[in-house]
Chain A
Amino acid sequence: MNRTFLYESHLGLGSKFVNFSGWEMPIHYGSQINEHNSVRNSAGIFDVSHMNIFDFRGVEAKEFMRHVLTNDVNKIEDGSALYSVITNNEGGIIDDLIVYRFNNEKFRVVSNCSTFDDVNNFFESNIIKFDCEFRHRPSLGILAIQGPESEIALKNILKLELSNYKSFSFTERNKLFISRTGYTGEDGFEVIGEPEELQNIWDLFISRSIPPIGLGARDTLRVEAGMNLNGTDMTIKNNPFESNLGWVVDFSDIERDFIAKEKLLEIKNTNKIKLVGVLLNEKGILRSGQKIIKDDFEGEVTSGTFSPYMKKSIGLARIPMDISENANVLIRNKLLNVKILSLPFIRKGKIMI
């Protein structure tokens, strides 16, 4: 099993571990609920070094990105990041990712842990036609510092003044790559660097009582934030439009040719399925796989959990567009009432529903 360079630190902090796609990662350090609420109310630090970093360089790096991503890097400036998906020729989602634009000839992509082979093969087979090279950067680690007090924590602990950096921008400081991005629905930063540097940062944050946060809370935070988990809320069998990700397919530049463009345009015009938020109005817990039923229509919960911040059960569900407002969910042979909601449930500590 793979371990990150912080494994011993997690062990020392009393972490309980989980096998996450072949990586032995912290699920929680005692209380997933407290960790979750620390991120909503103050700040916490995550080790997400299991995720994959790819660096791209070449005179056609921008053209390559414009060809392989559904979203268009032309609309962001140097020093900015963009959320996108990559799809197969049928418009099926291979993975979601964040792309960072240094300049026209240099980009970085951070993608999920579990999809390494598919993503790597995708880049490898598509890059041939471009004057561009890429490499995987497994020696680099990633820390996420998330929560409303992230900016002040980075300032106090690392003497980094980041107030000028808006959401989805990034900078390079003292061998560190720092972006104002995350997967929690809160303000926050992700820091990429060499293990020695990141170990120091981790130790400093822990010594200053910033709590470590496990993947358990990472999952409940992202569900509250209405963010998809690849492999759970979407797979290769799903297109972006039925995954609440139509907004990352950018057709605005008619000159731009990107993978599955025609197919995605056709899907956009015919799609009858949506990914929505569901809130259980009764006692119980939504879980992935539960059926959503209304009249003759059926859908399915893709992610379900107890929301530590709202203290109710919430989830994401893929349902026909014909279902709206409310429906029933089948839990252990009982039909319970759910409210159908647009996402997110929570943004920056505020309940949106």
Chain B
Amino acid sequence: MNETPSDLKFLDSHEWVKVDDNTVIVGISDHAQNELGEVVFVELPAIGDEFVSGDEAAVVESVKAASEVYTPLSGKVIEVNEALEENPELVNTSPYEDGWFFKLRVGDENLGSIDSLMTAEEYSSMLDGNS
């Protein structure tokens, strides 16, 4: 079964978000990596890129297809997971830990929209509804 850790928030486009004060970490869910299949390439944003929530911030490509990764909140990229450039399969083997994509610095004024994201429980039931 797909995992959905309870300390994370989710988007209906299958990104997960972890909030630590003003730092927000973004990755894709276990369900998403499973659907994509073996990830062979990840295109990450540049440090310093500024995004508005809903922007396409990264691309993840499996053998069969390319998918966009959207940023859940508005903010500035402060770190990217460079390990994915050499080992994109980390997205498959460790979607919630080693397979994270990028970290954003989010201003206080934009942190409120985190409440509009799905809880792990809501995301799980969305997946159950799909299957």
Contacts and interface: CB of A to CB of B under 8 A. Distances in A.
A308 B63 contact: yes
B43 A32 contact: no
A32 B61 CA distance: 14
A285 B38 contact: no
B66 A33 contact: no
B69 interface: no
A306 B61 contact: yes
A220 interface: yes
A284 B43 contact: yes
Contact of A32 (B38, B59, B85): B38
A31 B66 contact: no
Interface residues of A, number: 17
Given A220-B63, A287-B66, A306-B63, A32 B41 contact: no
Nearest to A311: B40
A28 B63 CA distance: 11
Contacts of B43: 283-284, 332
Contacts of A287: 65-66
A287 B67 CA distance: 12
B92 to A, nearest CB: 10
A124 B97 CA distance: 59
A230 interface: no
Contact of B38 (A31, A283, A284): A31
A32 B66 contact: no
A305 interface: yes
Contacts of B41: 283-285, 306, 313
Interface string A299-310: 000000110100
B126 to A, nearest CB: 20
Contacts of A306: 40-41, 61, 63
Interface of B: 37-38, 40-41, 43, 59, 61, 63-66, 85
11 contacts: A16-B37, A27-B64, A32-B64, A33-B63, A216-B63, A284-B43, A284-B61, A287-B65, A306-B61, A308-B63, A313-B41
